[in-house]
Structure 1
């Protein structure tokens, strides 16, 4: 493995400047970040971990605790953006780190801020490719493990660290990397994002204070240890900004407040709901005797909770999401918070059987080829089925402005008005106001 990889990587973070096209995409990402953060931030929706994060960790006001708090709150609803190459949620970690540092240091040059965010997304996507196909499947949560490095890269760009400081900061972030998928379905899953953002801030602060660390070899070691022999280190460097990863494949914005691994199944269920209506079905509970959902082997690695007890667990339940989509025709945000699940839906979900399709390639080999085929078995003997691919789901446009507008309706009008005045981020003054609202 090339021992100069860390140095080359630190250098390339400063060699490309995004254009207005990428900055506009970044503004859209920040709007989605706000849409996902504000309902929990202001207590408009119940969340089991919010009070502990707000009351305990920030007891001592610090930039690190601000980053942790924002990281948790922005991922608490699991409604924030996703990046396919990263196989995780980049903006929650990157923006939480950047906003915390921006506010603490009083730095508000909006183009520099947007460029740093774009660099962070670029690094996130590249890390996802460089780590290879086994990292996630081995039980690691990419948002938590790769997120600290991506966010640290963004912060190094934002603060214009020297190459040597950047190398040390990246190594410090890599050595703090941790996060297990075993925590999915609990408040610790979004806390991973907070930990990652805090790690990024700490790494940059230590490097700026000239704390000693290895300048080379750490990223190489990280990929070697956590790639499980599937790593591709040169993916970190090849063809930067051709195009930028915030453009292609781009950030994926969620339409539903559930694990992204359930969305194709939900889309299939919506289609089947309409077909049932056309068949004259008016009582889904009696008309449907059982349901099967098929997918490539391993495609249910993330949504692995079969019998959820609350809305947080239900986000990761294929069974519950499918029957909620069938019965209600939508997935309401309030149904996937820290409240008990609907007992009738939970009983109905017990009729859903997972049937991996072993004729399809394993999900870890190419998650972009994932699909969900939902089949309903009706009491009159009929079977109706529909298949939706991940690519089809990702291609559906998400109106982020509408998503943010709906979140703002959940806030007190005076607070919503203050945020509404900042969301275009056309000036450094708007960035300063937004950072103050989120961090003070």
Structure 2
């Protein structure tokens, strides 16, 4: 391997490249296959629903004429190039902030990896097994680099999903293209120069755009590497490289990015993602569930409440401390908003983040009486950190509830009990019930497809329904 440092040792990206190039379908355990299939089902479902979101529509309109190709734009019947499909499906998968999360990444891995894998697999006529391999390869890159950057990356203000996800998309693309270990490393090095996404844009349509661009740039990096484009294999660890710039000198653990001696276990075989139960930022979920529990104990009216205190772990802030909402999407990232909704109405649904729902006078009254603070000591939680909500009533009453680290056990994280119900509800926003059943049947037996294009033909949406807004068939409709 090329050594840019003169030390004679392989770089982190070269070691990761070897790992990625060597991923085989048979290397995935039952756990690993379950992680992949759950991610596939959940991501396709939320991308269907997200395809009707305003941000998805605007992205497509701004992209201009799309290149015809074999890759499906989910939620439509349109076929475009893999790069264009990756962009649009990445935006749709993250548009509702309903996609899965990973505690190690501190972000959303599958909204990047699944659109990347499907788009390129359709172009190449890959099998379902090769899609699973590609997802596992991308997951390996994302989780290992996430272990290296730790929390410092997020603390600096980067949006982890695209900044780390673009490396995962590059790994996914490299594996599907069958690149050598050296060229896999090159794809990652190229992608490192495309890592972008500011937390300052969370709560706007730019957040899902971050994800779509990460998918596209990651796939483009893999293609560039396949063509022989060069890049520095030490782009991760060199001074002024990715880790120094995106985490800070001395604020990362380089060794965590590479497997130890004798460690052949893929990350997908030992990690899990969390499938969301609520259509809003995961950092608000514990507080939201605490508020739902309080609603079950007592039905509140705004005039009953003197003050609301929300205590969360520091990892949940500052991106969710939003007492003032400039637009509907911002409500998805506001502890004040989701807690007020849950206390008054017992839960959250998609209509609460649309149109002028965020301007409700009753909700704003409670938001104005809400105080958010950080727990005195860091609360640990592998899946989700806890939160405490306390309601002080005007009559002197105090009602308090603390949501635990995770409302479900490990088994339910790997096998979400409401996965197919959520999937059907999401797909049903765009197609009729008969088509929902058809799509469910395809994804249930996805592993059987020797050519993924045979599966995605069934996923095409040929007509809009009352709620759905599939895209115009003006872009390419070709199949291969």
TM-score by length of 2: 0.82
1:418 Cα offset (Å): 4.3
Give 1:226's match in structure 2, choosing from 243, 246, 253: 246
1:238 Cα offset (Å): 2.1
Task: Select between 220-229 and 27-36 the one with higher mean Cα deviation.
Answer: 220-229
Give 1:372's match in structure 2, choosing from 387, 399, 407: 387
CA distance in 2 between counterparts of 1:159 and 1:354 reads 48
Distance 1:136 1:326, change over 3 A: same
1:302 Cα offset (Å): 2.5
Give 3-state SS (helix, strand or coil) of 2:162's partner: helix
Give 3-state SS (helix, strand or coil) of 1:218's partner: coil
Q: Alpha carbon RMSD of aligned pairs, Å?
A: 2.5
How big is each residue's C-alpha offset from its partner over 1:273-312, in whole Å with a ceiling of 9 and x where there is no partner?
Answer: 1222xxxxx4422222210011234532221322224431
CA distance in 1 between counterparts of 2:148 and 2:203 reads 27
What is the aligned partner in structure 1 of residue 296 from structure 2? 274
How big is each residue's C-alpha offset from its partner over 1:118-141, in whole Å with a ceiling of 9 and x where there is no partner?
Answer: 222232222211112211011000
Matches within 5 A, 1:247-262: 247-262=269-284
Task: Select between 194-203 and 342-351 the one with higher mean Cα deviation.
Answer: 342-351
CA distance in 1 between counterparts of 2:263 and 2:280 reads 31
CA distance in 1 between counterparts of 2:162 and 2:211 reads 6
Distance 1:126 1:418, change over 3 A: same
1:409 Cα offset (Å): 2.4
Question: Does residue 33 of the first structure (1) align with residue 33 of the second (2)?
Answer: no
CA distance in 2 between counterparts of 1:223 and 1:99 reads 29
What is the aligned partner in structure 1 of residue 302 from structure 2? 285
Distance 1:49 1:368, change over 3 A: closer
Q: Is the 1:48–1:338 Cα contact (8 Å) retained in structure 2?
A: no
CA distance in 1 between counterparts of 2:344 and 2:164 reads 38
In structure 2, the gaps of 5 or more residues are 68-80, 461-475
Q: Is the 1:79–1:256 Cα contact (8 Å) retained in structure 2?
A: yes
Task: Select between 154-163 and 407-416 the one with higher mean Cα deviation.
Answer: 407-416
Distance 1:74 1:58, change over 3 A: farther
Matches within 5 A, 1:70-109: 70-105=89-124, 107-109=125-127
Question: Does residue 123 of the first structure (1) align with residue 141 of the second (2)?
Answer: yes
Question: Does residue 195 of the first structure (1) align with residue 213 of the second (2)?
Answer: yes
Give 3-state SS (helix, strand or coil) of 2:358's partner: coil
Q: Is the 2:328–2:355 Cα contact (8 Å) retained in structure 1?
A: yes
What is the aligned partner in structure 2 of residue 161 from structure 1? 179
Give 2:62's match in structure 1, choosing from 40, 56, 63: 56
1:248 Cα offset (Å): 3.7
Task: Select between 328-337 and 74-83 the one with higher mean Cα deviation.
Answer: 328-337
What is the aligned partner in structure 1 of residue 22 from structure 2? 15
Give 3-state SS (helix, strand or coil) of 1:99's partner: helix
TM-score by length of 1: 0.89
- How many residue pairs are counted as aligned between the two chains? 426
